Amino acid sequence: MISWIKGELVDLWQTNNKFYIVINCQGLGYEIQILESIYIKLKTKEIPLQNLVFWLKHIKKEDSDYLFGFISKDQKDFFIEILNIKGVGSQIGMALLNKYSIDEIINAIAFKDKKLISSVQGIGQKMTERIILELKNKSNMKAKVSEELKDSDYLKENNELNSILKDIDLTLQSLNYTNKEIKKLFPILINEIKNKKNLILKKEKISFEYILKLAMNHLDNNSNLGR
Per-residue pLDDT tens for 37-89? Answer: 999 999 998 888 888 999 999 999 888 889 999 998 889 999 999 999 988 99
Q: Where do the domains of the chain lie?
A: 4-71, 74-147, 158-222
Using pLDDT thresholds of 50, 70 and 90, give the confidence band for residue 201: very low
Phi, psi for residue 154 in degrees, rounded to 5: -65, -40
pLDDT for res 226: 45
CATH H superfamily, domain 4-71: Nucleic acid-binding proteins (2.40.50.140)
Using pLDDT thresholds of 50, 70 and 90, give the confidence band for residue 110: confident
User: Any residues with CB less than 8 A from the CB of 96 and at least 6 apart, and which?
Assistant: 82, 105, 117, 120, 123
Per-residue pLDDT tens for 159-182? Answer: 777 778 888 888 888 888 887 788
pTM recorded for the entire structure: 0.65
CATH fold of 74-147 reads DNA polymerase; domain 1 (1.10.150)
Average pLDDT of every residue of the chain: 82
Burial class (CB in 10 A: 0-12, 13-18, 19+), 102: middle
